[in-house]
């Protein structure tokens, strides 16, 4: 299994985006001490991401592709949440996928995709 690490800078914004908007769940969180940076694992079905406030763990602006089934249903569920900072659409790509691309508050991109005929 490959687990991407995304750099984050604000835990409340990260929670609002990944958990409240996209529907990931928090699996665990770690801090070395109360005022230290957060390192957290979030997941949704088979997709697992690590989010880190630690300098040097990752650079902002990363991207990951997550394969899923029923992308249209997932897209409708996030559209229903009326998240004020993103309004992603579904794009049909020439390589045989439909895709929903979202950018988190830290410039990391997640491309959810489904193979179609």
Compute CA 22 distance to the chain's CA centroid, rounded to the nearest angstrom: 7
Residue 14 phi/psi, 5-degree rounding, is -65, -45
pLDDT at 79 over 90: yes
* CATH, residue 49: 3.10.180.10
Is the predicted pLDDT of residue 30 greater than 80, yes or no? yes
Q: In the predicted model, is pLDDT for residue 82 greater than 90? A: no
Largest Cα–Cα separation, the chain: 51
Please count the structural domains in the chain.
Answer: 1
* Opening angle at CA 63, ends 25 and 106, nearest 5: 70
Report yes or no on whether pTM surpasses 0.75: yes
Which residues constitute the domain of residue 53?
5-115
Q: How confident is the model at residue 1 (pLDDT cuts 50, 70, 90)?
A: confident
Contacts of 116 (CB under 8 A, 6+ apart): 92, 96, 97, 98
**Roughly how many angstroms between the first and final C-alpha of the chain, as a whole number?**
27
66/106 Cα distance (integer angstroms): 18
The Cα 76–Cα 81 span in angstroms is: 9
């Amino acid at each position: 299994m490959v687990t991407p690490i995304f750099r984050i800078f604000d835990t409340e914004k990260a929670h609002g985006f990944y958990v409240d908007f996209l529907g990931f769940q928090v699996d665990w969180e770690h801090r070395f001490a109360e005022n230290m940076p957060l390192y957290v694992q979030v997941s949704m079905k088979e997709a697992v991401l690590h989010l880190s406030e630690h300098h040097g763990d990752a650079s902002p602006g990363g991207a990951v592709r997550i394969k899923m089934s029923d992308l249209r249903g997932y897209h409708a569920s996030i559209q229903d949440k009326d998240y004020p900072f993103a309004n992603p659409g579904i794009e049909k790509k020439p390589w045989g996928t439909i895709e929903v691309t979202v950018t988190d508050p830290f410039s990391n991109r997640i491309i959810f995709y489904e193979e179609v005929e």
